[in-house]
């Protein structure tokens, strides 16, 4: 008999046995099994997968009960309700989402006939797509290039942007996460300064003095007289000669007026260094690194950077120097504006000599500032200003209102690039 015939015979025999058992159980007051179909039997070959039932009775699927096909290794656990592979069954097939490289995959969950194509990470030093080429050696990394690594103390390779201050400075992309802004070509002309002094204010005329002398050279002082404006003064002993002093002048003061124009400091170029790139491998030179090619508007060549104003490395491709700065300190101004004492104001007047003591009989008239001059016998005199004060002026002292200070770039950074 074949396997199917044996199975059918077993079912018939077991059915009869179940009827007999049911009758016996009823006679003994036990609950009978209502239907032999309540018992599920597994396949005849041990270990094959078969759905398990709820397994509440002896010998149910997945149990350890007597005889029939639910024996050790049958589908389902002890009294279980689900079907799983039994001992010696087929394991689950690999999938493209299990986080493992298995089956026909070329990489983790990618490649091969069943999964999506693998993507090559061009900067991790790993052959991600399993084609035997790593980073820059892989054709999928055409946007990357092999570069000489920076010498000790330098950073990079970096991408470098130089642009107009009136333009829009680009942002660093994800391949260059560290942005360092800078400036170059400082323009800061000296301050334009001025200092002027206005007309003198407060000038005044004083009272001159007349001296009479017995000598023709007026070396002998026989009396000096300083009358007030229009005042009549009696004179003592007469003398044949007289001389007068100039009218004294108080020059007054001037007001200083400064001027200052400072053109704001400006930069001729705005610069941007993009640093922090992850560097890969796969270059013919084992010391070289695989790095993203800069994209416009960045300079086409790669660069390296160093704090301070330093020389580019003597050897290697990074020979073109750019010097950029963080900021500017600006102390441009003008020196103090002031005025020298005023000068140039003048006054004039005349002395009148009289033959009597009451200033009524006029003899001679002498201007203020007259040299030794013969005069008639005089017994009184008066003085009157005829002009002044004229307006004096002032000049700024040397060094007043001159440019001072400078604008100086600070925070230098050296960027050396390939030609």
Task: Kindly write down the DSSP assignment for every residue of 296-331, as one continuous string.
Answer: TTS-SS-EEEEEBS-PPPSSSS--EEEEEEEEEEE-
**Does 10 reside within a domain?**
yes
Give the global pTM: 0.60
How does pLDDT run along the chain (419 residues), one tens digit per residue?
333 333 333 333 333 333 333 333 333 333 333 333 333 333 333 333 333 333 333 333 333 333 333 334 333 334 333 334 444 556 678 888 888 888 887 777 887 888 888 888 999 999 888 889 999 999 999 999 999 999 999 999 999 999 988 878 899 988 899 999 999 999 999 999 999 999 999 999 999 999 999 999 999 999 999 999 999 999 988 889 999 999 999 999 999 999 999 999 999 999 999 999 999 999 999 999 999 999 889 998 999 999 999 999 988 899 999 999 999 999 999 999 999 999 999 999 999 999 999 999 998 999 999 999 999 889 999 999 999 999 999 999 999 999 999 999 999 999 999 98
**Does 22 reside within a domain?**
yes
**Does 7 reside within a domain?**
yes
404 by Cβ neighbours in 10 Å (0-12 / 13-18 / 19+) ranks as middle
DSSP 140: G
**Does 16 reside within a domain?**
yes
Give strand pairing partners of 410.
327
- Cβ–Cβ under 8 Å, residues 133 and 282: yes
- Determine the structural domain holding residue 12 and report its residue range: 3-38
Beta strands (DSSP E) in 124-283 are 144-147, 155-163, 178-187, 192-197, 204-205, 210-213, 223-225, 233-234, 241-244, 249-250, 256-261, 266-275
Of the candidates 333, 337, 329, which has an alpha carbon nearest to the alpha carbon of residue 404?
A: 333
pLDDT at 88: 52
- Cβ–Cβ under 8 Å, residues 302 and 147: yes
- Cβ–Cβ under 8 Å, residues 152 and 223: no
pLDDT at 112: 80
- Cβ–Cβ under 8 Å, residues 214 and 239: yes
- Cβ–Cβ under 8 Å, residues 409 and 306: no
Distance CA 366, CA 245 (A): 10
Distance CA 349, CA 87 (A): 141
75 by Cβ neighbours in 10 Å (0-12 / 13-18 / 19+) ranks as buried
**Does 8 reside within a domain?**
yes
- Cβ–Cβ under 8 Å, residues 118 and 107: yes
Specify the number of domains making up the chain: 1
Distance CA 154, CA 175 (A): 19
């Amino acid at each position: 008999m074949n396997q199917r015939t044996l199975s059918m015979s077993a079912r018939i025999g077991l059915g009869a046995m179940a009827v007999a058992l049911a009758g016996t159980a009823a006679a003994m007051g036990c609950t009978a099994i209502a239907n032999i179909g309540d018992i599920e039997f597994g396949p005849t070959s041990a270990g094959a997968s078969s759905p398990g039932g709820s397994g509440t009775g002896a010998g149910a699927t997945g149990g350890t009960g007597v005889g029939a096909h639910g024996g050790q290794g049958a589908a389902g656990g002890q009294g279980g309700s689900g079907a799983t592979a039994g001992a010696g069954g087929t394991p689950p097939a690999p999938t493209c989402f299990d986080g493992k490289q298995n089956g026909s995959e070329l990489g983790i969950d990618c490649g091969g006939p069943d999964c999506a194509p693998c993507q090559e990470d061009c900067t991790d030093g790993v052959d991600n797509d399993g084609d035997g080429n790593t980073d820059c050696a892989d054709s999928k990394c055409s946007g990357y290039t092999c570069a000489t690594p920076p010498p000790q103390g330098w950073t990079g390779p970096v991408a470098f942007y130089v642009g107009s201050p009136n333009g829009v400075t680009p942002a660093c992309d994800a391949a260059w996460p560290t942005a360092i802004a800078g400036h170059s070509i400082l323009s800061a002309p000296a301050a334009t300064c001025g200092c002027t002094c206005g007309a003198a204010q407060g000038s005044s005329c004083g009272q001159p003095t007349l001296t009479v002398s017995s000598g023709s050279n007026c070396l002998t002082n026989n009396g000096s007289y300083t009358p007030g404006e229009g005042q009549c003064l009696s004179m003592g002993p007469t003398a044949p000669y007289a001389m007068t002093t100039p009218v004294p002048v108080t020059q007054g003061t001037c007001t200083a007026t400064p001027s200052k124009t400072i053109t704001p400091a400006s930069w001729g170029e705005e610069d941007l260094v993009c640093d922090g790139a992850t560097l890969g491998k796969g270059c013919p030179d084992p010391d070289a690194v695989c790095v993203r090619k800069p994209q416009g508007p960045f300079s086409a060549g790669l660069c390296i950077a160093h704090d301070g104003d330093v020389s580019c490395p003597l050897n290697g491709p990074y020979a073109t120097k750019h010097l950029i700065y963080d900021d500017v300190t600006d102390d441009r101004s003008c020196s103090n504006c002031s005025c020298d004492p005023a000068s140039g104001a003048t006054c004039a007047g005349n002395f009148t000599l009289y033959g009597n003591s009451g200033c009524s009989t006029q003899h001679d008239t002498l201007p203020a500032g007259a040299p030794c001059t013969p005069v008639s016998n005089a017994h009184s005199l008066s003085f009157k200003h005829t002009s002044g004060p004229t307006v004096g002026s002032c000049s700024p002292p040397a060094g007043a209102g001159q440019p001072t200070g400078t604008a100086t770039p600070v925070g230098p950074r050296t960027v050396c690039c390939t030609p």
